[in-house]
């Protein structure tokens, strides 16, 4: 495909012809895409387009029926989710999956333990990480009572604790207030500045257009377009499938 040539730098993640059926329905249909190292990529599409399924395929929770997933020149297909995490794929979930019976800091420690056995060192590191997302004052609290924005941040923080190279964010800002959204945009910018590759699913078009450098559009399990945010916002097919629905 033509777009491969347009991207000179090395790809951190390559999907080739990923296909997944759920009881006869095509959840994903021959999806191929490449993620550039260090980029922020947006994944958009109407409800049920297969965005979360694609994330689950990348992070290993759903095995694809067909296709090859390559991460850092390594074929991932046969690896379990935890092995992919160890290789450097971190993720968040559409509805934050926080360990709600543990304290905020313990949530982060679980992530840190992947690369360390030293609890006191982990604790210090966890405090540092929490400071970055401005949750350090809640570290001994139960995350149950945190507002949704803080839960999302905690989940990102927890994923960061595993020292990922690629971070998959499933709806990082849905349900956030405008102010919280701005904070999240900042956070994502900071992380990207450190060389982390970020792949974001989002419903809010404006957000994705502001944040990402490259946008991929899914519809009915198929990739219907990809390009710079500017190109996508004027792409006929995309407008028809997605923007035309009037947000």
Residues that bind another protein (CB under 8 A): 22-23, 56, 59-62, 80-82, 85-86, 90-91, 93, 97-103, 106, 109-111, 113-114, 117, 140, 142, 158-159, 161-162
Pick between residue 127 and residue 224 the one whose CB is nearest to another protein: 127
208 strand-pairing partners: none
The answer to whether residues 226 and 52 touch, using CB atoms and an 8 Å cutoff, is no
Q: Do the strands 197-201 and 166-170 form a parallel or antiparallel pair, or are they unpaired?
A: parallel
Q: Which is nearer to another protein, 132 or 209 (CB)?
A: 132
Least distance from another protein to the Cβ atom of residue 150, Å: 16
- Strand 166-170 and strand 25-36: the pairing is unpaired
Select 102 or 239, whichever has its Cβ closest to another protein.
102
Token pair of 194 as six digits:
């450190």
In Å, what is the CA distance from 92 to each residue of 154, 166, 167, 172, 247? 10, 12, 8, 8, 24
In three-state secondary structure terms, 8 is coil
> Which residue, 59 or 181, has its beta carbon nearer to another protein?
59
Work out how close the CB of 161 gets to another protein at its nearest, in angstroms, rounded to a whole number. Answer: 8
What is the smallest separation between the CB atom of 78 and another protein, expressed in angstroms? 15
Q: In which element (H, E) is residue 156 found? A: helix 148-160
SS3 241: helix
Query: CB of 143: closest distance to another protein in angstroms?
Result: 10
Of 109 and 173, which has the nearer Cβ to another protein?
Answer: 109
| Alpha carbon of residue 93 to chain centroid | 8
Q: Which is nearer to another protein, 108 or 225 (CB)?
A: 108
C-beta of 156: minimal distance to another protein in Å? 12
Residues of 50-69 as b/e, b for ≥16 C-beta within 10 angstroms? bbbbbbbbbbbebebeebeb
The phi and psi torsions of 91 (rounded to 5 degrees) equal -150, 160
Q: How far apart are CB 86 and another protein at their closest, in Å?
A: 5
């Amino acid at each position: 495909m033509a777009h491969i040539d347009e991207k000179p730098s090395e790809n951190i993640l390559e999907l080739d012809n990923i296909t997944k059926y759920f009881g006869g329905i095509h959840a994903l249909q021959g999806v191929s895409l490449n993620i550039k190292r260090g980029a922020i990529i947006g994944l958009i599409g109407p409800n049920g387009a297969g965005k979360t399924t694609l994330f689950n395929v990348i992070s290993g929770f759903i095995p694809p029926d067909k296709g090859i997933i390559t991460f850092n020149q390594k074929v991932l297909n046969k690896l379990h989710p935890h092995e992919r995490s160890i290789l450097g794929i971190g993720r968040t979930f559409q509805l934050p999956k926080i360990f709600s019976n543990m304290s905020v800091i313990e949530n982060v420690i679980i992530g840190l333990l992947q690369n360390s056995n030293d609890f006191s060192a982990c604790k210090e590191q966890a405090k540092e990480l929490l400071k970055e997302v401005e949750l350090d004052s809640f570290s001994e609290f139960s995350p149950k009572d945190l507002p949704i924005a803080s839960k999302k941040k905690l989940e990102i923080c927890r994923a960061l604790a595993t020292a990922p190279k690629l971070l998959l964010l499933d709806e990082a800002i849905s349900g956030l207030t405008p102010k919280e959204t701005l904070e999240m945009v900042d956070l994502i910018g900071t992380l990207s500045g450190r060389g982390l590759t970020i792949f974001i699913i989002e419903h809010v078009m404006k957000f994705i257009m502001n944040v990402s450098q490259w946008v991929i559009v899914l519809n009915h399990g198929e990739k219907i377009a990809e390009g710079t945010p500017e190109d996508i916002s004027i792409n006929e097919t995309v407008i028809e499938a997605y923007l035309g629905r009037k947000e």
